[in-house]
Homo-oligomer: A and B are copies of this chain.
């Protein structure tokens, strides 16, 4: 996976992903949708995220364990699968930690392209962990963002993001506080990992006309924004039933109004309606984004070697004999 992505380069992949995502969001009603299935424990969450259209089924396994980095492990790892709806057979099984970071950034940029002010040029990036560089590049591509203001409580993480983003045509600023990063920024992206009700942004920091891209709050009890900010913003979500449980809007009453992204992309609901409006993309990550990413990967990778994870007995009713009877045997899976 790493070799494949390196060969393509991050920006071409992000560009392609943004296009795939747009196309799939536009045909939203064709999908069989469900909120992801989460298993919570003291240290984190493990989730399964399935979705299907009439041809393809996909799911992703993904965790979220904020304490992992202290063990030298990643907060989020993932893998996933595409399967054929007609037969139920797997078509592609792959690592998705990298794809998750790419598709999250591509979705953020896609949303911002309809929600941020068209002349936006600067973005504050609060939380410079594993997702940060992907976000910066996606916003450069989709919106023409040219300045990134980095901030993280961990100076090493900030230096890491800065170093990785050098040479990508962005003006990079390491801020000394959240306030310094946010003040005057056109867009504010929050990508922090604590599994708590954090308040990364307080109401006094947010300026009229800013677009907020909140990607770090993504499970029950994990939020990043003060509820007064959410109350002031027009809020766009991916899939309302899931976002009510997991998003920033878990802080809000059940009738707090939100709009699903696909409706904005289709023009059924407005994007930004005024220069001074505060817009919020309350992103938690939805299965459709993984579906798009897996399909995109399949196209980039071409048809690889056959999956040897599925038994293929010569007689499909003879599973037992294919293993335990001499001379029956397996074919190699096609």
| A residues adjacent to B (C-beta < 8 A) | 1-2, 5-6, 9-10, 32, 34, 37, 39, 41, 43-46, 48, 50, 52, 54, 57, 59, 61, 63-65, 68-69, 71-75, 77, 79, 81, 83, 85-90, 93-95, 97-98, 101, 128-134, 154, 157, 160-161, 163-164, 309-313, 315-325, 330
| A18 to B: closest C-beta gap in Å | 17
A39-B57 contact given A69-B316, A95-B309, A309-B79, CB 8 Å threshold:
yes
Whole-angstrom CA separation of A320 from B136 in the bound complex: 11
Contact, CB under 8 Å: A87 / B69: no
Whole-angstrom CA separation of A129 from B95 in the bound complex: 34
Residues of B close to A129: CB separation below 8 A: 317
Residues of B close to A309: CB separation below 8 A: 79, 94-95
Residues of B close to A5: CB separation below 8 A: 323-324
A163-B48 contact given A2-B311, A59-B61, A63-B87, CB 8 Å threshold:
no
For A87, give its contact among B73, B134, B319 (CB under 8 Å): B73
Residues of B close to A310: CB separation below 8 A: 74, 77, 79, 95, 97
Residues of B close to A73: CB separation below 8 A: 87, 89, 312, 316
Residues of B close to A86: CB separation below 8 A: 41, 43, 65
Chain B residue at minimum C-beta to C-beta distance from A129 = B317
